[in-house]
């Protein structure tokens, strides 16, 4: 299969606001704060007061990047922002978003969640037209495309004409927020891979965010999800919805339900937490276990474990504690310390585990390098048996639509069958949820992208070697 550059793959969160009479950047800050789980490596906000555009970006979490000294100068009633996640080493400020340029129509800033699958081709065309790039990101590709005048843009809002052209040309996943001098726009690709929600701000104006749950933190209600192929224009007067291209067959990322989105987010009208309990319940029906207690991997699989326990009629218990206060540390343990490694993050509770047959529920297994240590940890606290249950099917294919999972080679289920994985992690038994079971739990409604489980990608992937960023450095 053709393989796009994994270095360009990112999970991200975006937010935007139009706040008449108030500082929009402040609302956007709280939106990014609520979307922190979608990216902790960099954050940025761009704003406009109708005269100039303002921007601040930095590496780290949003609460580290922003303080009153740098948020204060982000003037204006319009703003957009971005949280960036990347598992690649490229944590450069140069790749942080939003990207901002000045154009003949005034400032233009873009923040992006997703991944274009034809970014290399579009970039090449723009380069050959004489347009220089400041970064290697597909976000800049969309920014440069939006900066180019389009035929017929004279009539009406030229930005919408350009956005239609963008949607006709770009393939892959993109939930975008765009800032111009006069408005904030929210765009969602024709497949609807990534979520994007809009709501009215208390005090007037409108907000947009990757997840509906973040709207509340921004002081907004939740009014609707942006439709695939549409752009929503937010300005001081209100909002207007523009269907720019025909939607494609719906392909909402099913992994948002399994793991990625916040439990309180509504996707296609369903609460993510409730879906997760159903995933656990389906799993209990498909793969019961003779056991005494059900334990989830905190915090991401707690809901799945509760659902499993309930459906299985087994007691649920906290058998693993996640250390709340640790962050990343760059201190290397010595040999004697190395053995205690996983205990930095998780602690087993002997009072729950000792002498018991334990069902350990996880939401998914991707690379497979935490399951083994967790099984050993449970046994070290006295668990008699450990039955590992995974509330989604085996992940056998990489994501090219914006989730930075892994390459084929890194996916344990690409390399090993279930029996071998069980052996590898050392569990007494192992079962995954079936694809059909997952679809029952998510409520098959409007169509999902499940390519990481099935290899059936909704869009064609670009061929060729990875187009590495040829510009390196900060400043």
> Which 8-state DSSP code applies to residue 460?
P
β-bridge mates for residue 82, sequence order: 14, 44
Q: Are 278 and 311 in contact (CB under 8 A)?
A: no
Q: Which of the residues 344 through 363 are near a copy of itself (CB under 8 A)?
A: 344, 347-352
Calpha distance 407→458 (Å, rounded): 18
Catalytic site residue from 12, 253, 399, 452: 12
Comparison of 324 and 456: residue with beta carbon closer to a copy of itself: 324
* Cβ partners under 8 Å of residue 205, min gap 6: 17, 18, 19, 20, 22, 24, 77, 234, 236
Q: Which is nearer to a copy of itself, 97 or 117 (CB)?
A: 97
- Tell me whether residue 12 is one of the annotated catalytic residues: yes
- The CB-of-177 to a copy of itself minimum distance in angstroms stands at 17
From the list 89, 313, 327, 465, which residue makes contact with a copy of itself (rule: CB under 8 A)? 327
Give the one residue of 4, 6, 12, 56 binding a copy of itself; rule: CB under 8 A.
Answer: 56
Question: 3-state DSSP call for residue 299?
Answer: coil
Positions 99 through 158 that interact with a copy of itself (CB under 8 A): 100-104, 106-108, 124, 127-134, 136, 143-144, 147-149
Alpha carbon of residue 10 to chain centroid: 8
**Among residues 343, 367, 420, 446, the one that binds a copy of itself under rule CB under 8 A:** 343
**Measured distance CA(277)–CA(449) in Å, rounded:** 21
Torsion of CA 186, 191, 196, 197, to 10 degrees: 90
| Binding to a copy of itself in span 214-243, by CB under 8 A | 216-219
Name the one range near a copy of itself by CB under 8 A: 228-236, 259-267, 407-415, 436-444. Answer: 259-267
DSSP helix/strand/coil, 264: coil
Among 182, 223, 318, 410, binds a copy of itself (CB under 8 A): 318
Residue 463 binds a copy of itself (CB under 8 A): no
Of the CA atoms within 13 Å of residue 24, those in its CB half-sphere come to 33
Q: Is the Cβ of residue 309 or residue 430 nearer to a copy of itself in the bound state?
A: 309
Q: What angle do CA 413, 419, 423 make, to 5 degrees?
A: 95
Nearer to a copy of itself, 19 or 406 (CB): 19
Q: How large is the C-alpha radius of gyration of the chain?
A: 23
| 336 is a site residue for a copy of itself (CB under 8 A) | yes
Query: Which listed range, 166-174, 327-335, 367-375, 430-438, lies at the site for a copy of itself (CB under 8 A)?
Result: 327-335
The DSSP line for 381-399 is TT-SEEEEEESS----S--
Site for a copy of itself in 267-296 (CB under 8 A): 271, 273-274, 277
Site stretch for a copy of itself (CB under 8 A), options 35-43, 281-289, 417-425, 440-448 = 35-43
Instruction: Please identify, among the stretches 31-39, 390-398, 423-431, 439-447, the one whose residues bind a copy of itself according to the rule CB under 8 A.
Output: 31-39
* Nearest-angstrom CA–CA distance, 49 and 72: 13
Q: Which CB, 74 or 427, lies closer to a copy of itself?
A: 74
User: What is residue 201's DSSP assignment?
Assistant: B
Per CB under 8 A, contacts with a copy of itself among 73-92 are: 73-74
Contacts with 255 (C-beta within 8 Å, 6 or more apart), sequence order: 364, 392, 399, 403, 452
With CB under 8 A as the contact rule, the residue among 57, 84, 165, 422 that binds a copy of itself is: 57
Residue closer to a copy of itself by CB (options 51, 420) is 51
- For 344, residues 6+ apart whose C-beta sits below 8 A from its C-beta are 323, 326, 329
The reply on whether position 51 binds a copy of itself by CB under 8 A is: yes
- Count of residues in contact with a copy of itself, rule CB under 8 A: 115
Residues designated catalytic: 12
């Amino acid at each position: 299969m053709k393989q796009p550059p994994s270095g360009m793959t990112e999970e991200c969160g975006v937010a935007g606001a139009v706040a008449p009479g108030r500082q929009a950047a402040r609302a956007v800050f709280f939106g990014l704060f609520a979307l922190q789980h979608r990216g902790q490596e960099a954050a940025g906000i761009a704003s406009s007061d109708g005269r100039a555009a303002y921007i601040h970006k930095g590496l780290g979490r949003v609460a580290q990047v922003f303080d009153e000294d740098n948020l204060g100068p982000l003037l204006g009633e319009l703003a957009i922002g971005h949280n960036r996640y990347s598992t690649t080493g490229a944590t450069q400020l140069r790749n942080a978003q939003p990207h901002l340029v000045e154009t003949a129509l005034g400032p233009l800033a873009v923040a992006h969640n997703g991944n274009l699958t034809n970014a290399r081709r579009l970039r090449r065309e723009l380069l050959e037209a004489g347009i220089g790039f400041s970064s290697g990101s597909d976000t800049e590709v969309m920014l440069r495309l939006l900066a180019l005048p389009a035929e017929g843009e004279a009539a009406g809002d030229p930005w919408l004409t350009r956005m239609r052209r963008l949607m006709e040309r770009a393939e892959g996943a993109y939930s975008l927020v765009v800032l111009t001098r006069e408005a904030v726009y929210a765009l969602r690709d024709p497949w609807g891979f990534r979520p994007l929600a809009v709501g009215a701000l208390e005090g007037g104006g409108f907000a947009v965010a990757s997840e509906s749950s973040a709207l509340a933190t921004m002081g907004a209600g939740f009014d609707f999800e942006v439709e695939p192929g549409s752009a929503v224009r937010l300005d001081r007067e209100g909002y207007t919805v523009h269907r720019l291209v025909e939607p494609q067959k719906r392909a909402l990322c099913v992994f948002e339900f399994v793991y990625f989105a916040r439990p309180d987010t509504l996707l296609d009208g369903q609460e993510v937490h409730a879906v997760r309990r159903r995933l656990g319940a389906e799993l209990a029906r498909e793969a019961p276990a003779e056991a005494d207690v059900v334990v989830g991997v905190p915090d991401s699989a707690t809901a799945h474990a509760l659902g499993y326990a309930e459906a299985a009629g087994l007691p649920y218990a906290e058998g693993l504690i996640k250390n709340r206060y640790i962050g990343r540390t760059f201190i290397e343990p010595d040999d004697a310390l190395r053995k205690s490694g996983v205990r930095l993050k998780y602690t087993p509770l002997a009072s729950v585990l000792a002498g018991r047959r334990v069902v350990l529920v996880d939401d998914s297994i991707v690379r497979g390098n935490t399951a083994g240590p967790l099984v050993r940890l449970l046994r070290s606290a006295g668990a008699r048996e450990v039955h590992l249950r995974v509330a989604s099917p085996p992940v056998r294919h990489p994501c090219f639509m914006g989730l930075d999972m892994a390459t084929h080679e890194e996916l344990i289920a690409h390399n090993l069958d279930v029996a071998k994985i069980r052996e590898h992690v050392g569990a007494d038994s192992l079962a995954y949820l079936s694809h059909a079971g997952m679809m029952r739990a998510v409520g098959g409604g409007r169509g999902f992208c499940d390519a990481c489980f099935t290899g059936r990608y909704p869009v064609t992937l670009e061929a060729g070697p990875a187009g590495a960023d040829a510009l390196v450095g900060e400043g």
